[in-house]
Amino acid sequence: MIRFTYQHLLELVDGDDEFIVRLVEEGLIEQRDDVMSVDVDAVLLARTLWRNLEVDWPGIEIIVRLTAQLNAARRRVQELEAAVAASEKPTA
């Protein structure tokens, strides 16, 4: 998560105040005063799904969550592959 001011977040979503309100309501971003905790990739994905593909909010929530889980699984597989490769190196 990255911290953004409201103004920077507004720039990220092309000035769409209503979209930011919806992101906060749906729990995709956290707001404390004028500072927002934002997963930029999730916000941009949600924006694309909403504007370009006309996916409804329950669908957006599922897709964003599954995308995050898939990315975490990919990172874990890479870590495991690296650990296996390191353990297979011959020792002198």
**What's the average model confidence in pLDDT over 22-36?**
85
pLDDT digits (tens, 9 = 90+) for 53-68: 999 999 999 999 999 9
pLDDT of residue 91: 66
Quote the domain boundaries for residue 71.
2-88
Phi, psi torsion values for 3, nearest 5 degrees: -90, 130
Number of domains in the chain: 1
Looking at residue 89, the DSSP 8-state letter turns out to be S
Q: Where are the alpha helices (DSSP H) in the chain?
A: 6-12, 17-25, 40-51, 57-88
Q: What are phi and psi of 36, to 5 degrees?
A: -115, 140
Confidence (pLDDT) at 48: 94
**Contacts of residue 36, Cβ cutoff 8 Å, sequence gap at least 6:** 3, 4, 5, 6, 9, 24, 29, 30
CATH number at residue 53: 1.10.1660.10
